[in-house]
Amino acid sequence: MSLIERIETALEHHFSLTHGASAPPRLMEAMRHAVFPGGARIRPQLCIAVAKACGENDRGLTDAAAVAIELLHCASLVHDDMPCFDNADIRRGQVTVHKQFGEPLALLTGDALIVMAYQAIARSGRVHPMRTVELLSVISDGVGAPDGIVAGQAWECESRVELSQYQRAKTGALFVAATCGGALAAGVDPQPWRKLGDTLGEAYQVADDIRDVMMQADQLGKPAGQDAHHGRPSAAADLGLVGALDYFNNLMQTAVDSVPACESRAAMRQLVLKESERLVPPSACEIISRQHAAKSTRVSA
Amino acid sequence: MSLIERIETALEHHFSLTHGASAPPRLMEAMRHAVFPGGARIRPQLCIAVAKACGENDRGLTDAAAVAIELLHCASLVHDDMPCFDNADIRRGQVTVHKQFGEPLALLTGDALIVMAYQAIARSGRVHPMRTVELLSVISDGVGAPDGIVAGQAWECESRVELSQYQRAKTGALFVAATCGGALAAGVDPQPWRKLGDTLGEAYQVADDIRDVMMQADQLGKPAGQDAHHGRPSAAADLGLVGALDYFNNLMQTAVDSVPACESRAAMRQLVLKESERLVPPSACEIISRQHAAKSTRVSA
């Protein structure tokens, strides 16, 4: 079973246990709409990959950690897409939750997905309760105040914001929760895995900035040019496309180098490199290089 | 130290631990605005009272359970007050979060408070990890799908809804989490405490319906007549004021009778009776009785 198949199976499993006969049907429909079909599921993949690298021995808890992280990510997308933030019509190539089900249900869908993340952990936590308490702590810190993704998003409501602190919280925090959560689910000290999450998270945000500038909405599966439109901090705006691409490549190299010594180190590095190509495809790198070369020629001419 | 003082101290304690130097200042301000000054804090009072009745022996975990339940309640108020639901300007006698800080920050404040509830539990869970996992489960089920308060609120977005199922989820679920959570924090089987939470929750909702019809906004601390305005299911609308008051009194008696045999049974019953008078003050009962008598006289005349 591939990582992706394992994640989809675990998500379906936890949805089936959350979906009681007494649940409001449209809420359940909206929750599924927010989660299926998924995007790259990179955070839960990372979580499971780290658990495996750490000698996974409680598969149910690993799955619950991965599911929780993906649900928290999906919840943040539902709320970020709402009219008071991005007012986005499309996400992952389909209509956003508030466009399909209305704003009230979108608000509740995000809330219910956050809680469902914890229900998944609670359900799978009885075999190793102490690991579960640690996991609860690491995952919550990746989402809440002071440095989780919700706090990251809240920096957009402040008059002054420092780019790297904003990006680290907005995206990096949940990547850290994914790597550290994977280690904790396997009963292992999460500390050595923090840097991998932190660096990948920043790289992911930089790649997002690059793609937001370069691509069309139909390729992104969501509206393009949103950063400039909303006046949001962006590496591509700060460093230019060439500078942002250099920065991204350095971050991915740092991520690869940070993988601690373990049996499956080669597989982990492979996952990171594959993700790197998915985030900024070789074709995009080529376009940026070509534009840079053309500009240099014009300047020197 | 009274129950209320203990709750305020515990809330302040967990706020001080959540408030890192790196937190977005306006988010933290909005989170505090949503929680202080509080309402009656009936749910956390109930939680601590049950823990004491069960021979409380992990004060930190009891406090965390009480704090979590109050934060989840406050989060639901922030989101329910937003324009896509009640569009309320006042709550607990002060300006609502979205009116003071804007919609984006109100949305994030609710999310951050939900997560902070779990951070409080995680922080206090290491002494009794197995209790903590059970607590995590009971509290999450009181909030999420299929039967928690978020699901209850979501019934307002369905075309068909059954009054008691709606009320049980919308209000009762968090009362059940409060009583069962108190028992679990003390390491005791929560089952005998379920009925108290369930009945009090329903009574609370019925009292809310009665007050929504009877009182002015300045007495309620929030807009009056909201149920009729939003076409929401209401016991006062279904049964009339006299019928609703009878129903409320029966529920409170059932609640008092449901308190299991324990050392502090008398104190628990006292708390319930005091709450009963706070929910529907004797003066309101008198007005309803007088109106009823006047109507009977007119009918028989």
Region of poorest pLDDT, from A4-8, A71-75, A218-222: A218-222
Q: Is A18 within the bounds of a domain?
A: yes
Cβ-Cβ contacts under 8 Å between A and B: the total is: 206
Q: What is the pLDDT of residue A300?
A: 64
Strand intervals (E) in chain A = 90-91, 94-95
Q: Which amino acid is at B52?
A: K
Share of chain A above pLDDT 70, in %: 95
Give residue B216's pLDDT. Answer: 62
- Closest by CA to A205, choosing from A151, A279, A142, A107, is A279
Answer yes or no: are the C-beta atoms of B79 and B87 closer than 8 Å.
no
Question: What pLDDT score was predicted for residue B294?
Answer: 82
Given CB atoms, is B177 within the 8 Å cutoff of chain A? no
Residues A241, A206 contacting (CB under 8 angstroms): no
CATH code, domain carrying B170:
1.10.600.10
Q: How confident is the model at residue B283, as a pLDDT?
A: 82
Q: pLDDT (tens digit, 9 = 90+) per residue, B132-183?
A: 999 999 999 999 999 999 999 999 999 888 777 787 898 899 999 999 999 9
pLDDT for A160: 83
Residue A36 at interface with chain B, using a CB cutoff of 8 Å? no
Mean pLDDT rounded to a whole number for chain A: 90
CA pair distance A66, A86, nearest whole angstrom: 26
ipTM value: 0.92
A299 belongs to a structural domain:
no
Query: Is A75 in the B-facing interface, judged by CB distances under 8 Å?
Result: yes
Side chain identity at residue B166, one-letter code: Y
Contact by Cβ (8 Å): A2, A69: no
Of A79-83, B41-45, B62-66, B244-248, least confident by mean pLDDT is B244-248
Among all chains, which residue has been given the structure tokens 């690993």? A62
Give B181 to chain A, closest Cα distance, Å. Answer: 14
Radius of gyration of chain A (CA): 19
Task: Give the Cα separation of B173 and B167 in Å (integer).
Answer: 9
Q: What's residue B240's pLDDT?
A: 83
A35 domain-assigned? yes
Structure tokens of A120?
Answer: 């998944």
User: How far is CA A196 from each of CA A39, A176, B29, B109, rounded to the nearest angstrom?
Assistant: 21, 7, 32, 29
Among all residues of chain B, which has the CA nearest to that of A16?
Answer: B146
Count how many domains chain B has: 1
B180-226 per-position pLDDT tens digit: 999 999 999 999 999 999 999 989 988 888 888 887 655 666 666 77
Query: Does residue B253 have a pLDDT over 80?
Result: yes
How far apart are the C-alpha atoms of B16 and B36, rounded to whole Å? 14
Predicted pLDDT of residue A270: 85
Give domain status of residue B301, yes or no.
no
Contact list in A for residue B122 (CB cut-off 8 A) is 133, 136-137, 140
Backbone phi, psi, residue A94, to 5°: -125, 170
Entry pTM: 0.93
Looking at residue A217, its pLDDT comes to 56
> Residue B181: which H helix or E strand, with range?
helix B173-185
Using the Cβ of A231 and the Cβ atoms of chain B, whether some distance falls under 8 Å is answered with no
Whether A263 shows a pLDDT value over 80: the answer reads no
Q: With respect to residue A212, please indicate whether it lies within any of the assigned structural domains.
A: yes
Q: Is B163 on the interface with A (CB under 8 A)?
A: no
Q: For A17-27, write each residue's pLDDT tens digit.
A: 998 888 999 99
In a domain, A300, yes or no: no
B285 belongs to a structural domain: yes
Range of the domain at A226: 3-292
pLDDT, chain B, mean? 90
Q: Is residue B97 part of a domain?
A: yes
Burial class (CB in 10 A: 0-12, 13-18, 19+), B231: exposed
Q: Which tokens hold the place of A210?
A: 């690059």
For residue B300, pLDDT beyond 70: no
Mean pLDDT for A262-280 is 85
